[in-house]
Amino acid sequence: MTNDGKVEKLMLSISNPHCSYCSRVIEQRLKDAPGITDISVSYLTDQVLVRYDATKITPDEIRASVKELGYDTVENNRGVRG
């Protein structure tokens, strides 16, 4: 990442990730997106934590990528810190 990048965090609640495979599919899709620096997906808690370069991708684009896989998302940034 370049020095001018701005790393942000986004926490999403996702609907119906039924198994660890679902989590891996979401994780792989987001890892391939430009600007994603780190991702953690938990099907047990229905949560996705994404660290991303805000100069390269937006939260709306991240949510759209997850939606394309068939999962609805709700932003859930309570308690997410720097």
CB distance 57 to 7 below 8 Å? no
2, part of any domain: no
82, part of any domain: no
pLDDT in the model for residue 78:
57
18, part of any domain: yes
Give the residue numbers spanning the domain of 66: 7-75
The band of 11, judged by pLDDT with boundaries at 50, 70 and 90, is very high
Q: What is the CATH number of the domain that holds 48?
A: 3.30.70.100
CA dihedral 74, 48, 80, 54 (to 10 degrees): -90
- Residue 82 clears pLDDT 80, i.e. is over it: no
pLDDT in the model for residue 43:
79
Number of domains in the chain: 1
- Number of H-type helices and E-type strands within the chain: 2, 4
pLDDT in the model for residue 44:
82
pLDDT in the model for residue 4:
58
